Amino acid sequence: MEVQTLSIPQIKMTDKGFLTMRNLIQSRLGINLTDQKRGLLITRLNKYMKQAGFTTFQHYIDYLQDDQTGVSLGELADMISTNHTYFFRESKHFDFLSATALPQIMGQLRAQKILDFRMWCAAASTGEEPYGLMITLMEYLGDTYRSWDAGLLATDISREALNVAESGIYDEESVAKIPIGLRNKYFSKTQENNWLINQFVRNEITYRRLNLMRPELPFKKQFHVIFCRNVMIYFDQPTIERLVNNLYKWTAPGGYLFVGFSESLSGIQNPYRYVSPAIYQKS
Protein backbone atom coordinates (compact mmCIF):
# COMPACT_ATOMS: atom_id res chain seq x y z
CA MET A 1 0.00 0.00 0.00
CA GLU A 2 1.27 3.46 -0.83
CA VAL A 3 1.50 5.79 2.15
CA GLN A 4 0.68 9.39 1.34
CA THR A 5 2.31 12.11 3.43
CA LEU A 6 0.79 15.53 3.67
CA SER A 7 3.50 18.01 2.91
CA ILE A 8 2.92 21.70 3.38
CA PRO A 9 4.73 23.74 0.74
CA GLN A 10 7.41 26.19 1.83
CA ILE A 11 6.00 29.71 2.20
CA LYS A 12 7.08 32.12 -0.45
CA MET A 13 7.07 35.58 1.00
CA THR A 14 6.59 38.35 -1.54
CA ASP A 15 7.93 41.86 -0.92
CA LYS A 16 4.40 42.92 -0.09
CA GLY A 17 3.99 40.00 2.33
CA PHE A 18 7.25 40.86 4.06
CA LEU A 19 6.20 44.52 4.40
CA THR A 20 2.81 43.53 5.86
CA MET A 21 4.55 41.27 8.34
CA ARG A 22 7.19 43.85 9.16
CA ASN A 23 4.57 46.54 9.81
CA LEU A 24 2.54 44.20 11.98
CA ILE A 25 5.62 43.20 13.98
CA GLN A 26 6.60 46.85 14.35
CA SER A 27 3.20 48.11 15.44
CA ARG A 28 2.15 45.22 17.69
CA LEU A 29 5.48 44.05 19.12
CA GLY A 30 7.62 47.16 18.78
CA ILE A 31 10.26 44.96 17.15
CA ASN A 32 12.18 46.58 14.36
CA LEU A 33 12.80 43.94 11.70
CA THR A 34 15.43 44.89 9.15
CA ASP A 35 15.60 43.59 5.54
CA GLN A 36 18.51 41.39 6.65
CA LYS A 37 16.11 39.49 8.93
CA ARG A 38 13.84 38.45 6.05
CA GLY A 39 15.55 35.08 5.56
CA LEU A 40 15.43 34.34 9.28
CA LEU A 41 11.75 35.27 9.46
CA ILE A 42 10.86 33.00 6.54
CA THR A 43 12.79 30.03 7.98
CA ARG A 44 11.17 30.38 11.40
CA LEU A 45 7.70 31.02 9.99
CA ASN A 46 7.93 27.93 7.80
CA LYS A 47 8.78 25.78 10.80
CA TYR A 48 6.03 27.31 12.92
CA MET A 49 3.35 27.17 10.20
CA LYS A 50 4.06 23.50 9.56
CA GLN A 51 3.70 22.68 13.24
CA ALA A 52 0.58 24.81 13.65
CA GLY A 53 -1.03 23.59 10.42
CA PHE A 54 -1.28 26.87 8.51
CA THR A 55 -1.22 26.22 4.79
CA THR A 56 -0.85 29.76 3.52
CA PHE A 57 0.90 32.84 4.74
CA GLN A 58 -2.36 34.81 4.45
CA HIS A 59 -4.08 32.39 6.88
CA TYR A 60 -1.39 33.10 9.39
CA ILE A 61 -1.67 36.89 8.98
CA ASP A 62 -5.47 36.61 9.41
CA TYR A 63 -4.97 34.54 12.55
CA LEU A 64 -2.60 37.16 13.98
CA GLN A 65 -4.95 40.00 13.17
CA ASP A 66 -8.07 38.28 14.51
CA ASP A 67 -6.59 36.92 17.72
CA GLN A 68 -7.76 39.09 20.62
CA THR A 69 -6.01 37.03 23.31
CA GLY A 70 -2.49 38.16 22.44
CA VAL A 71 -1.25 34.54 22.53
CA SER A 72 -0.40 34.55 18.81
CA LEU A 73 1.70 37.69 19.27
CA GLY A 74 3.67 35.96 22.01
CA GLU A 75 4.34 33.05 19.67
CA LEU A 76 5.47 35.47 16.98
CA ALA A 77 7.76 37.25 19.46
CA ASP A 78 9.29 33.87 20.30
CA MET A 79 10.13 33.40 16.62
CA ILE A 80 11.93 36.68 16.19
CA SER A 81 13.41 37.52 19.57
CA THR A 82 15.29 35.38 22.03
CA ASN A 83 14.32 34.33 25.54
CA HIS A 84 17.99 33.94 26.41
CA THR A 85 18.63 34.86 30.04
CA TYR A 86 20.46 33.50 33.07
CA PHE A 87 20.58 33.86 36.84
CA PHE A 88 22.12 37.12 38.09
CA ARG A 89 22.87 38.30 34.54
CA GLU A 90 24.71 41.64 34.59
CA SER A 91 25.35 41.01 38.27
CA LYS A 92 26.40 44.60 39.04
CA HIS A 93 22.70 45.46 38.97
CA PHE A 94 21.95 42.98 41.73
CA ASP A 95 24.91 44.34 43.74
CA PHE A 96 23.60 47.89 43.30
CA LEU A 97 20.14 46.76 44.32
CA SER A 98 21.23 45.33 47.65
CA ALA A 99 23.97 47.86 48.43
CA THR A 100 22.22 51.07 47.36
CA ALA A 101 18.68 50.93 46.00
CA LEU A 102 17.07 48.72 48.65
CA PRO A 103 18.64 50.47 51.68
CA GLN A 104 17.66 53.86 50.23
CA ILE A 105 14.09 53.08 49.23
CA MET A 106 13.24 50.80 52.14
CA GLY A 107 14.84 53.23 54.60
CA GLN A 108 12.53 55.97 53.34
CA LEU A 109 9.49 53.72 53.39
CA ARG A 110 10.31 52.54 56.92
CA ALA A 111 10.64 56.15 58.08
CA GLN A 112 7.15 56.81 56.72
CA LYS A 113 5.89 53.56 58.29
CA ILE A 114 4.81 52.31 54.86
CA LEU A 115 6.00 48.71 54.66
CA ASP A 116 4.78 48.25 51.10
CA PHE A 117 7.44 47.58 48.46
CA ARG A 118 6.86 46.62 44.84
CA MET A 119 9.17 45.45 42.06
CA TRP A 120 8.35 44.77 38.43
CA CYS A 121 10.40 42.58 36.13
CA ALA A 122 9.13 43.68 32.71
CA ALA A 123 10.75 41.09 30.40
CA ALA A 124 10.93 38.15 32.78
CA SER A 125 11.49 35.48 30.13
CA THR A 126 11.97 32.04 31.71
CA GLY A 127 12.18 33.33 35.29
CA GLU A 128 15.89 33.52 36.10
CA GLU A 129 15.75 37.31 36.46
CA PRO A 130 12.66 37.56 38.71
CA TYR A 131 13.88 34.72 40.95
CA GLY A 132 17.26 36.47 41.21
CA LEU A 133 15.46 39.68 42.22
CA MET A 134 13.37 37.94 44.85
CA ILE A 135 16.40 36.15 46.29
CA THR A 136 18.27 39.48 46.46
CA LEU A 137 15.35 41.09 48.29
CA MET A 138 14.96 38.19 50.72
CA GLU A 139 18.69 38.13 51.41
CA TYR A 140 18.63 41.86 52.09
CA LEU A 141 15.63 41.77 54.43
CA GLY A 142 16.35 38.46 56.17
CA ASP A 143 13.79 37.73 58.89
CA THR A 144 12.26 41.18 58.55
CA TYR A 145 10.92 40.16 55.13
CA ARG A 146 7.76 38.92 56.84
CA SER A 147 6.94 42.35 58.23
CA TRP A 148 6.84 43.80 54.71
CA ASP A 149 4.08 43.68 52.18
CA ALA A 150 6.60 43.07 49.42
CA GLY A 151 5.94 41.55 46.05
CA LEU A 152 7.25 41.13 42.56
CA LEU A 153 5.30 41.27 39.33
CA ALA A 154 6.99 39.38 36.49
CA THR A 155 5.67 39.90 32.97
CA ASP A 156 6.62 38.86 29.46
CA ILE A 157 4.87 38.64 26.12
CA SER A 158 5.73 34.97 25.72
CA ARG A 159 3.35 32.47 27.35
CA GLU A 160 5.84 29.70 26.69
CA ALA A 161 8.61 31.51 28.55
CA LEU A 162 6.28 32.30 31.44
CA ASN A 163 5.28 28.63 31.72
CA VAL A 164 8.93 27.74 32.30
CA ALA A 165 9.22 30.59 34.81
CA GLU A 166 6.16 29.46 36.72
CA SER A 167 7.38 25.87 36.86
CA GLY A 168 10.49 27.13 38.68
CA ILE A 169 12.54 24.14 37.48
CA TYR A 170 16.08 24.62 36.15
CA ASP A 171 18.78 22.22 35.11
CA GLU A 172 22.21 21.89 36.68
CA GLU A 173 23.85 24.12 34.07
CA SER A 174 21.35 26.95 34.64
CA VAL A 175 21.93 27.09 38.38
CA ALA A 176 25.71 26.69 38.10
CA LYS A 177 26.27 30.46 38.24
CA ILE A 178 24.35 30.87 41.51
CA PRO A 179 26.61 30.91 44.59
CA ILE A 180 26.28 27.46 46.19
CA GLY A 181 25.06 28.86 49.52
CA LEU A 182 22.17 30.67 47.81
CA ARG A 183 21.41 27.72 45.58
CA ASN A 184 21.08 25.37 48.55
CA LYS A 185 19.00 27.86 50.49
CA TYR A 186 16.52 28.73 47.75
CA PHE A 187 16.35 25.58 45.61
CA SER A 188 15.87 21.90 46.21
CA LYS A 189 16.96 19.04 44.00
CA THR A 190 14.25 17.11 42.16
CA GLN A 191 14.26 13.35 41.52
CA GLU A 192 15.24 14.10 37.92
CA ASN A 193 18.37 15.95 39.14
CA ASN A 194 16.99 19.38 38.31
CA TRP A 195 16.63 22.27 40.74
CA LEU A 196 13.25 23.56 41.91
CA ILE A 197 12.94 27.04 43.36
CA ASN A 198 11.39 26.90 46.83
CA GLN A 199 7.69 27.47 47.23
CA PHE A 200 8.16 30.45 49.57
CA VAL A 201 9.98 32.34 46.78
CA ARG A 202 7.51 31.32 44.09
CA ASN A 203 4.56 32.44 46.22
CA GLU A 204 5.90 35.98 46.28
CA ILE A 205 5.96 36.38 42.49
CA THR A 206 2.95 37.07 40.30
CA TYR A 207 3.40 36.08 36.65
CA ARG A 208 1.35 37.77 33.94
CA ARG A 209 1.52 37.96 30.16
CA LEU A 210 2.00 41.56 29.11
CA ASN A 211 2.96 43.25 25.87
CA LEU A 212 5.14 46.26 26.62
CA MET A 213 3.70 47.92 23.52
CA ARG A 214 0.40 48.51 25.26
CA PRO A 215 -0.14 52.28 25.18
CA GLU A 216 -1.58 52.16 28.71
CA LEU A 217 -0.04 49.78 31.21
CA PRO A 218 -2.64 48.04 33.38
CA PHE A 219 -1.37 48.86 36.87
CA LYS A 220 -2.89 50.43 39.96
CA LYS A 221 0.24 51.28 41.89
CA GLN A 222 3.75 52.46 40.99
CA PHE A 223 6.84 50.29 41.42
CA HIS A 224 9.92 51.09 43.49
CA VAL A 225 12.16 49.02 41.24
CA ILE A 226 11.67 48.20 37.56
CA PHE A 227 13.92 45.80 35.69
CA CYS A 228 13.35 46.14 31.93
CA ARG A 229 16.49 44.57 30.57
CA ASN A 230 17.56 43.21 27.21
CA VAL A 231 14.22 43.72 25.52
CA MET A 232 14.62 47.27 24.22
CA ILE A 233 17.47 46.06 22.00
CA TYR A 234 14.75 44.89 19.61
CA PHE A 235 12.91 48.22 19.52
CA ASP A 236 13.56 51.33 17.43
CA GLN A 237 14.20 54.72 19.02
CA PRO A 238 10.62 56.12 19.00
CA THR A 239 9.34 52.86 20.51
CA ILE A 240 12.01 52.93 23.23
CA GLU A 241 11.21 56.56 23.98
CA ARG A 242 7.50 55.83 24.33
CA LEU A 243 8.17 52.81 26.52
CA VAL A 244 10.68 54.54 28.80
CA ASN A 245 8.31 57.46 29.36
CA ASN A 246 5.56 54.97 30.11
CA LEU A 247 7.86 53.19 32.60
CA TYR A 248 8.57 56.55 34.22
CA LYS A 249 4.86 57.01 34.94
CA TRP A 250 4.88 53.69 36.80
CA THR A 251 8.08 54.35 38.78
CA ALA A 252 7.49 55.55 42.35
CA PRO A 253 9.32 58.77 43.30
CA GLY A 254 12.87 57.79 44.27
CA GLY A 255 12.42 54.47 42.47
CA TYR A 256 14.87 52.92 40.01
CA LEU A 257 14.81 51.70 36.42
CA PHE A 258 17.38 49.10 35.34
CA VAL A 259 17.91 48.51 31.63
CA GLY A 260 20.33 46.13 29.90
CA PHE A 261 23.98 47.21 29.77
CA SER A 262 23.75 47.49 25.98
CA GLU A 263 20.60 49.63 26.18
CA SER A 264 21.83 53.04 27.29
CA LEU A 265 19.11 55.70 27.25
CA SER A 266 21.44 58.34 25.84
CA GLY A 267 19.64 60.04 22.97
CA ILE A 268 16.27 58.97 24.39
CA GLN A 269 14.19 61.90 25.69
CA ASN A 270 13.11 60.94 29.21
CA PRO A 271 12.86 62.46 32.69
CA TYR A 272 14.90 59.84 34.60
CA ARG A 273 18.13 60.86 36.32
CA TYR A 274 21.17 58.88 35.16
CA VAL A 275 22.74 57.12 38.15
CA SER A 276 25.32 54.72 36.73
CA PRO A 277 25.57 52.52 33.61
CA ALA A 278 22.10 51.19 32.79
CA ILE A 279 20.64 52.47 36.10
CA TYR A 280 18.22 55.42 36.23
CA GLN A 281 16.22 57.03 39.02
CA LYS A 282 13.01 59.00 39.27
CA SER A 283 13.99 61.99 41.39
Ligand X SMILES: C[S@@+](CC[C@H](N)C(=O)[O-])C[C@H]1O[C@@H](n2cnc3c(N)ncnc32)[C@H](O)[C@@H]1O
Interface residues with ligand X (CB under 6 A)?
29-30, 77, 81-85, 89, 123, 125, 129, 156-158, 161, 211-213, 229-231, 260
How many angstroms separate the CA atoms of 197 and 165, rounded? Answer: 10
* Least Cβ distance, residue 144 to ligand X (angstroms): 28
**Beta-ladder partners of 153:** 120, 206
How many angstroms separate the CA atoms of 127 and 167, rounded? Answer: 9
Q: Which residues contact 253 (CB under 8 A, 6 or more apart)?
A: 282, 283
Query: Apex CA 264: angle with CA 268 and CA 107, to 5°?
Result: 100
Q: Which residues contact 221 (CB under 8 A, 6 or more apart)?
A: 118
Q: Give the residue closest to ligand X by C-beta.
A: 85
Task: Select 189 or 249, whichever has its Cβ closest to ligand X.
Answer: 249
Task: Select 189 or 208, whichever has its Cβ closest to ligand X.
Answer: 208
Task: Select 119 or 231, whichever has its Cβ closest to ligand X.
Answer: 231
Residue 76: DSSP 8-state: H
* Least Cβ distance, residue 228 to ligand X (angstroms): 8
* Least Cβ distance, residue 209 to ligand X (angstroms): 8
Task: Select 109 or 251, whichever has its Cβ closest to ligand X.
Answer: 251
Task: Select 77 or 201, whichever has its Cβ closest to ligand X.
Answer: 77
* Least Cβ distance, residue 142 to ligand X (angstroms): 26
How many angstroms separate the CA atoms of 31 and 128, rounded? Answer: 23
* Least Cβ distance, residue 120 to ligand X (angstroms): 12
Task: Select 59 or 249, whichever has its Cβ closest to ligand X.
Answer: 249
Task: Select 57 or 235, whichever has its Cβ closest to ligand X.
Answer: 235
Residue 159: half-sphere exposure toward Cβ, Cα within 13 Å: 8
* Least Cβ distance, residue 157 to ligand X (angstroms): 4
* Least Cβ distance, residue 109 to ligand X (angstroms): 25
Residue 5: DSSP 8-state: -
Task: Select 11 or 231, whichever has its Cβ closest to ligand X.
Answer: 231
Is 153 within 8 Å of 217 (Cβ atoms)? no
Q: Is the dihedral of CA 223, 224, 229, 234 positive or negative?
A: positive
DSSP string, 167-227: HTEE-HHHHTTS-HHHHHHHEEE-TTS-EEE-HHHHTTEEEEE--TT-SS---SS-EEEEE
* Least Cβ distance, residue 180 to ligand X (angstroms): 22
